[in-house]
Each structure stands twice: as C-alpha cells, then as structure tokens.
Chain A
C-alpha cells in the first residue's frame, strides 16, 4: 500500500459548523420538534419571568423611609432600606459600627490578597489571616482593650453574626477534621476508636440538638459562677459538629491517593507527618476542594439555626423585623433579601472553588 507522502495543510472547518448561528442551529433548532420545544420554552420563560420582573423591579418602590412610601403594586424595598443597618450589624451600637466595618474590610482585603494569584508574600498573608486576624477581630468586635468599649455578644447580629459563625466554624473545623480523618486511618487502636466514636457521635446528632445542648445543657455542667458566653458555646458546638463532617470529606480524599505515594515517601526516609504533610495531604486536599466547599456552603446556611438559641443571625434578624407592627406584610421582600444575601456568598464560594480546582490541576491523571 502506498501512502500519500506530502503533508496535508490545515484547512478551516466548513462554514456553518462554527459560530453562534451554528450553535443555535445545533442546540436549539436542530429539527422541527426541537424548534417547537425551543419556542415553547421561550414562551414559558416569558410568562413566568415577566411578572416577577414587573413585581421586583419595574413596579417596585425603592425610595422612602416608612410604609407610607410603599404605594405601588410591586415590591417595597423601602423596608429593606430602612432596616439595612440592623440586617448587617444587628444591635451593634451605632457609634461603634466602624469597628465592624473595619473588620469586614480587613477580612475582605486578606481574602482578596490570598485569592489573587499575582500578589506576593502569600505565606505571610496566610499566617496573618489565620493567626493575627482572629485576635484582631476579637479585640475590635468585642472590645474591652485599647480604649474600646465592650460590646456584649448579645448585641451582635445580622450578617455580621452569620459571618462570624461561618468563618470561625470553617477555619476551626478544617484542621480538626484533618486530624480526625488521619486518626481514623491510624493503626493505633485507641486513637482510631476515639476518632471513630467522635465522628459518628457528632454526625449522628442534628445540629439543632447540638446547639440546644450547648445553650441549655452545658451551663448545668459548669461550676457555679463560671459562665461561657452564649455565642462562644454556639461556636464550639458548630465547630465540633462541622469537624466531624469535614473529617469524612478529608478521609474520602485520603482514600483516593494511591498507596504507592505514601510508600515512595516512606522509602525516601520521611516520617509520618512529612509523608502526610508533604505528599498525601496536598494531593488529597486538591481532590477534596469540591467536598470541602460543599461542607462550607452547607455550614454557612446552617448558621441560621442559631436562631433557636436566641442569637439573631441574618435570617433571624430579618424575621424579627417582619414582626415589627410598623412593617407588617413585607415578609416576601424580607425573605428574598435574606435569600439573595446567602446566595451571593454561597455562589462566590462555589465559583472560587471551581477556579481553584482548575488552577491546582497539574495534569497528573494520565
């Protein structure tokens, strides 16, 4: 058989197979039945979406201070406007709100620094974010030092409280979860059974129960005169609960790493912590990103449960505002606002995790 010996030049794809029109034709109008369904779908979208847009945007009231300004037929965002301070800061004293803002801004700056790949000194910034920032935030938000007035935690609320609960829960639960997962895979019987019992116990109880126990039962066991702040109790409960979930996510990731990786590290003379810290965990964490973020997202939304122990997170404070007699009847607006806020945070986390996954992929799957 004789083959063509001259090289074939690259030719452009036939016209009509690339570009937006071709995409439309291939995906939406590839035949009479598909075309009908596409048109039907567009019509349904129009029927469903138009009234929503009308209500939420076009016929809505945006400006004003009281319910008298809600004259039109659409949504009345005046309610959110009037209460936005409370929704974000809870009952934090108005003159001290700059402290919350400063904490927010610092936090956002640290996160942004870590998230943007071009910026240098990542290690130092990470150290500051993990070690320095919690102290900074504590002194700033709670006060009592450096001439700042103490703001008791029962005045904390709204978005600020939600973020405190979620961030502390996430940051504390991850390392505990990693340790628990390693412990569960350990060959040491006592370490292993402790971790198994711990994980199974916390995973087996609903978060509501945990919070309730932390709030009601814990003080009974405390010696008289010792009282732990309600927020701290909730934080401990959430952290322990989340670390059990995190442990199982981490364990899943650890199991996905071939045994040969640890063997190769061992054969080079590395001890257990180096094998884990340098070889196994970095690879496993990369695989765990979707699971970890999933857990974070569910934690972020679960923080709303602190309502039942009398802490007013974002949703709690919106609900409290709904029962204000001056603003009765605006529950839809309130819930939409709360939902939107939660969605923005959760969606950002999700997008960032997808970006991370792409970035960390070094193409090792052959």
Chain B
C-alpha cells in the first residue's frame, strides 16, 4: 500500500482515530472483541470499565504498544500496519500518558521533555528547550525543570509526563489511568491540567475512573466489559440513564460509596 493511496483512502479529515472490527488475543484469551470506535478531531472520550475489561489494551493498540490481530486501525488518516516506519510515524502524532508516569529517571525534567523533539523531530536544542519550558509552564512545573524525576512527587511527575508528550505536538492524547497511581491529594492537580487540555480542544482518549472528570469534559463515555464496548453515550444520559445492566451495576459500584 503506497503512502499516497493510504492517506487519501480514508479521506475523512474529521476522524482522528478509527477502529473497525478490532480483535486481539493474548494466547487463547480474547481481550478485545469486535471493537468499532471512531474518534473525531477535538473529541474527548472517557473509557471506563472493570479491571481486565481491555480498556488499557484498547488505547495501547492505537499507538501499537499492543498489537491487534484482526481488524483495522486508522490514525489521522494513516492505517496502522506492521511496518516499523509507519508505526513510528503514527507514534509521533499520538501522545501517551501512563499510569506509572514512566519518566526517564536518568534525565532531568527538562531533558525528559527535550529528548524526543531533539532526537525524533531533529529540532535544535535551543528550540526544543524553549518549547519544553513553554509546556512545563503550562503544567505549572517550570521551576522544577532542573530536577530529576526522583525528586518530584507523583502528581508533579505525572504533570511532567503530560508536558513531555505535548512537546511532540501530538494530534491526539491517550491517557492510560493517569491518576490511579497517585495519592488522593495529588489527583486534582493532574486532573486540572487534563481539563485545561480538553478545553483547548485536544483530542483525548482517557481510561480513567474519575467520573467527575468524565462529567466535566467528556463528549462521550464508553463502558467496556470483557473486551467489548457495552455502552457509549454522552455523559449526561450515560450516568443518569445507563441502558445495560452491567453498566448500571458498575456505576452503582464506583459511585455508590
């Protein structure tokens, strides 16, 4: 498939991520079952569901940290193939924030943010640093730029991780349970940054259990169970009138206390 053909093929400029009939197995275990999902540019999506339901696997398939065995994934008009160059091309356009931050501990905060712009996008150091400082400013952590990740709190580290992703100017951001490894008093500082990002129009897919966040910013909430998308709806009807029994049960469990 040539580059030209593959890009023009989808043509729908508005859809940022498209998944069609995506299936994935770990050995015999069927983790993702017939996933169909279209994310428009600028859309904010929250994915929730019980643990082991395949939410993380789903978003990790989008930047090929996990490989799907069946179906089609198109990111920004570019079909995801096995080709290593293609995968790297797509990853450059997709930012990701991890549950455990995964900052590079041997580099300072500033270096963490400059590394990919300098080595992947070949930006000169001066430009990369200016850009990094700008994003660190935005996540309100610029004064820690010279410190190492090990010297920061969890919430600060996660904000650096968000800045690090933003430095690549991604078109879509994937959040894989960004607040679940944080102490309660640090969750808010990270969520605040995410809310601002959402309000600026970033396309986002967030796997999270922060239902408050979902209500504030999500355009759509997706509920997954046993590798399937069970229900998807706008937040208001999703929380107030969940259709499926499993969604109702799940919501009663996490909102009940």
Contacts and interface: CB of A to CB of B under 8 A. Distances in A.
Interface residues of B, number: 29
A193 to B, nearest CB: 21
A364 to B, nearest CB: 3
A362 B105 contact: yes
A123 B84 CA distance: 32
A270 B91 CA distance: 8
A264 B98 contact: yes
B104 interface: yes
B26 interface: no
B246 interface: no
A286 B161 CA distance: 23
Nearest to B120: A269
A76 to B, nearest CB: 53
Given A266-B65, A268-B120, A364 B148 contact: yes
B116 A268 contact: yes
B24 to A, nearest CB: 17
Contacts of A283: 104-106
Contacts of A267: 63, 65, 91, 94-96, 98, 165
A365 interface: yes
B150 A261 contact: no
Interface residues of A, number: 24
A286 B104 CA distance: 13
B98 A268 contact: no
A253 to B, nearest CB: 13
A260 interface: yes
A285 B117 CA distance: 24
Contacts of B88: 269-271
B148 A269 contact: no
Interface stretch (A37-45, A47-55, A143-151, A274-282): A274-282
Nearest to B157: A366
A343 B120 CA distance: 46
Given A264-B98, A278-B115, A363 B63 contact: no
A364 B106 CA distance: 7
A263 interface: yes
Interface in B56-114: 63, 65, 84, 88-89, 91-92, 94-96, 98, 100, 102-106
Nearest to B99: A260
B103 to A, nearest CB: 8
A264 B102 CA distance: 6
Contacts of B131: none
B85 to A, nearest CB: 9
B105 A269 contact: no
A283 to B, nearest CB: 5
A269 B92 contact: yes
B205 to A, nearest CB: 13
Residue among B84, B105, B115 with most chain A CB within 10 A: B105
A282 B106 contact: yes
Contacts of B54: none
Interface string B145-172: 0001111000000000100110010000
Contacts of B63: 266-267
B206 to A, nearest CB: 15
A134 B225 CA distance: 63
Given A260-B98, A283-B105, A362-B105, A269 B116 contact: yes
Contacts of A268: 91-92, 115-116, 120, 164-165, 168
Contacts of B150: 362-366
Contacts of A279: 104
Nearest to A279: B104
A362 B91 contact: no
A364 B105 contact: yes
B119 interface: yes
A278 B119 contact: yes
Contacts of A282: 106
Contacts of B89: 269
Nearest to A267: B96
Contact of B91 (A258, A266, A364): A266
Contacts of A286: 106
B217 to A, nearest CB: 22
Contacts of A278: 115, 119
Interface in B125-184: 148-151, 161, 164-165, 168
Given A267-B96, A269-B91, A363 B148 contact: yes
A263 B91 CA distance: 11
A58 B161 CA distance: 66
Nearest to A277: B119
A362 B115 CA distance: 18
Contacts of B102: 258, 260-261, 263-264
Given A264-B161, A364-B106, 13 more contacts: A258-B100, A260-B102, A266-B63, A267-B65, A267-B94, A268-B91, A268-B120, A269-B168, A271-B84, A278-B115, A278-B119, A283-B105, A366-B150
Interface of B: 63, 65, 84, 88-89, 91-92, 94-96, 98, 100, 102-106, 115-116, 119-120, 148-151, 161, 164-165, 168
28 contacts: A258-B102, A260-B100, A260-B102, A261-B104, A263-B102, A264-B96, A264-B102, A264-B103, A264-B161, A266-B63, A266-B91, A268-B92, A268-B115, A268-B116, A268-B165, A269-B89, A270-B88, A270-B116, A278-B119, A279-B104, A283-B105, A362-B105, A363-B150, A363-B151, A364-B105, A364-B148, A364-B149, A366-B150
- 4 closest Cβ pairs, A-B complex: A364-B105, A269-B92, A264-B102, A268-B116
Interface of A: 258, 260-261, 263-271, 274, 278-279, 282-283, 286, 360, 362-366
